[in-house]
Amino acid sequence: MSSATKDKAAERRLVARTNADVHQRIADAADLLGATVSQFLIDSALERANRVTQEATRLRVSRDAFVQMMAVLDQPANPAPRLQQAAHRYREVMSDEHPPQDPERNTDPKP
């Protein structure tokens, strides 16, 4: 399959039906921009899609709520009891497997 055929296969068609007045208004606007009706429709739809997606996925809060949220995030976390127990067990296991060494009794061979 040639590269041009692959490109065509990847493209999807959008179809819109409208009355003559709406079509003429869109065609006039496209002409003012030096674009085809298709280019104008795709650019306009993509711009709107980006705006809708951005508005739908952005969290908006009042200034007071934002300040309160940042203050809470700046406070140190209180570890859960199970997390503290797990950390304690980890330290015990690691200290049993790797006892502290006396730096003066280093038995590692020198390179």
Q: Give the list of residues 6+ apart from residue 61 with CB closer than 8 angstroms, or none.
A: 69
Instruction: State how far the Cα of 3 lies from the Cα of 7, in Å rounded to an integer.
Output: 6
If pLDDT is split at 50, 70 and 90, which confidence band does 46 have?
very high
Q: Write the pLDDT tens digit of every residue in 72-103.
A: 999 988 889 999 999 999 999 988 777 667 66
pTM: 0.50
For the segment 15-36, what is each residue's pLDDT rounded down to a tens digit? 999 999 999 999 999 999 999 9
CA angle 93, 97, 98 (to 5 degrees): 115
| Other C-beta atoms lying within 10 Å of the C-beta of residue 29 | 13
